[in-house]
């Protein structure tokens, strides 16, 4: 079963530009949250608001000071597609070594600068825009999941592990693709 239901969809230059602009806008907004591990600093509330506007059922919970978010957008019977990510970042280090303030989300010489842009606030921004495209243009059948934690850069004991426990407690199967062994594991 295919997640995309319209194989003839063409991404016009105008739409591509719109999506790219939105990814940059969302990434800049996420960068402004000073979410040094394990502090989420409001990132997940911002993400939850965006996902709720798309009709997602959002569940947030804390474990030992770590924020976790599980959200699902359901649209009929079909495959599940999940995005796993984290909102926490490592400390900034010496601020004098930065080309711009690390939590400002400034663009300099066509580069978006900020703590966490590559790992992984930029990825979250892109996933949100992709979800918007799929939902608003009715391009999918199935479920889109967002599994987000604020405990990846630190000890990583109360983030992804707690999300997996949440699925097990709900007696819901969760499979993850492990790139190190190139297969899905339960």
Give 118-164 pLDDT, tens digit per residue: 999 999 999 999 999 989 887 788 999 999 999 999 888 899 888 88
Q: Give 58-116 pLDDT, tens digit per residue.
A: 999 999 999 999 999 999 998 888 899 999 999 999 999 999 999 999 999 999 999 99
| Catalytic residue selected from 39, 88, 151, 153 | 88
What is the number of residues in the chain? 186
Q: Catalytic residue, from 39, 40, 151, 152: name it.
A: 152
β-pair partners for 67: 62
106 is catalytic: no
What is the C-alpha radius of gyration for the chain, rounded to an integer number of angstroms? 17
- Helix 43-53 / helix 122-136 crossing angle, nearest 10 deg: 10
152 as an active site residue: the answer is yes
Whole-structure pTM value: 0.88
Question: Among the listed ranges 34-38, 87-91, 182-186, which one has the minimum average pLDDT value?
Answer: 182-186
């Amino acid at each position: 079963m295919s997640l995309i239901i319209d194989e003839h969809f063409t991404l016009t230059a105008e739409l591509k530009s719109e999506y790219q602009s939105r990814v940059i806008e969302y990434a800049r907004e996420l960068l402004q949250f000073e979410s040094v591990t394990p502090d989420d600093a409001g990132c997940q509330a911002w993400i939850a608001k965006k996902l709720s506007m798309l009709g997602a059922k959002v569940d947030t919970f804390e474990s030992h000071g770590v924020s976790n978010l599980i959200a699902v957008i359901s649209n009929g019977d079909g495959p599940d597609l999940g995005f796993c990510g984290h909102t926490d970042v490592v400390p900034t280090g010496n601020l004098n070594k930065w080309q711009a303030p690390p939590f400002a989300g400034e663009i300099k010489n066509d580069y978006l600068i900020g703590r966490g842009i590559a790992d992984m606030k930029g990825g979250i921004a892109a996933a949100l825009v992709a979800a918007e495209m799929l939902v608003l243009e009715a391009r999918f059948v199935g479920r889109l999941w967002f599994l987000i934690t604020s405990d990846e850069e630190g000890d990583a004991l109360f983030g992804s592990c707690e999300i997996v426990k949440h699925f097990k407690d709900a007696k819901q199967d969760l499979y993850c693709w492990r790139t190190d062994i190139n297969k899905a594991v339960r």
